[in-house]
Chain A
Amino acid sequence: QKEVEQNSGPLSVPEGAIASLNCTYSDRGSQSFFWYRQYSGKSPELIMSIYSNGDKEDGRFTAQLNKASQYVSLLIRDSQPSDSATYLCAVTLGFQKLVFGTGTRLLVSP
């Protein structure tokens, strides 16, 4: 089992819909969780971080964490074509190791 797993996609949604991106992780002791957005050919940028169970909202983005089930998700409401990118899930494993998933490619069609 990979330490951090994401469906590679592409996930296709129409403009205005909700995009739901999922990530599972293997280490029950993980404490910190991050979502990065990466446009094609560009570097990643952090869009959300979450540390406790439940939901965290920031504008059109909502991160959801369920430690018992070992998954973290990212919801994007009112999806826009400019949201088309690869979304990387990153999880801390142990004290000092940050592990990235392979990313899910999101395509938002006008």
Chain B
Amino acid sequence: DGGITQSPKYLFRKEGQNVTLSCEQNLNHDAMYWYRQDPGQGLRLIYYSQIVNDFQKGDIAEGYSVSREKKESFPLTVTSAQKNPTAFYLCASTSGPRPNTGELFFGEGSRLTVL
């Protein structure tokens, strides 16, 4: 079945550590996105990539980094520079080149907790 796979589903991190969240899709979608969701807040865009080897900062990119070496993969690294990383992280993809064309397909999410 086609879809988006995120791993791990749950992750605990000590302060000062970098962690990488995996996102893999087999939908043959060109565009991929990382969102962050906090309680009582809407989804906020961290980074997005429209094609391989290219990505753009979203609204809250500070403290995060991404890569897009393959069409299927868009990993997110939460660095120690991110001041408040505890959140629910969602990876999404869409067949359109822009987030306002076509629907967003989301992975199951990764819940990161900083101890």
A positions within 8 Å CB-CB of B: 4, 8, 31-32, 34, 36, 42-46, 49, 88, 92, 95-103
A88 interface neighbour in B42, B45, B103, B105, Cβ under 8 Å: B42
Residue of B nearest to A49 (CB): B103
Listed A/B pairs (14) with beta-carbon separation below 8 Å: A8-B40, A31-B100, A42-B108, A43-B109, A44-B43, A45-B106, A46-B104, A49-B103, A96-B98, A97-B99, A98-B100, A100-B44, A102-B41, A102-B42
A61 → chain B closest CB, angstroms:
14
Query: Chain B residues with Cβ under 8 A from A43's Cβ?
Result: 90, 106-109
Residue of A nearest to B91 (CB): A43
* Pairwise interchain contact B42-A103, C-beta atoms closer than 8 A: yes
Residue of B nearest to A46 (CB): B103
Residue of B nearest to A103 (CB): B42
Residue of A nearest to B98 (CB): A96
Asked whether A100 and B99 contact (CB < 8 A) given A42-B109, A44-B90, the answer is: no
B67-115 contacts to A (CB < 8 Å):
90, 98-101, 103-109
**How many B residues have CB within 8 A of the partner chain?**
18
B positions within 8 Å CB-CB of A: 40-45, 90, 98-101, 103-109
Query: Chain B residues with Cβ under 8 A from A31's Cβ?
Result: 100
Asked whether A44 and B103 contact (CB < 8 A) given A96-B98, A101-B42, A102-B41, the answer is: no
Query: Chain B residues with Cβ under 8 A from A32's Cβ?
Result: 100-101
> A32 to B104, alpha carbons, bound, how many Å?
13
> A98 to B90, alpha carbons, bound, how many Å?
15
4 tightest Cβ-Cβ pairs between the two chains A and B: A92-B100, A100-B42, A43-B106, A98-B99
> A87 to B105, alpha carbons, bound, how many Å?
16
A99 interface neighbour in B40, B42, B98, B105, Cβ under 8 Å: B42
- What would 12 more interface pairs be, CB under 8 Å, given A43-B109, A49-B103, A102-B40? A32-B101, A34-B103, A36-B104, A43-B90, A43-B107, A46-B105, A88-B42, A97-B99, A98-B45, A100-B42, A102-B41, A103-B42
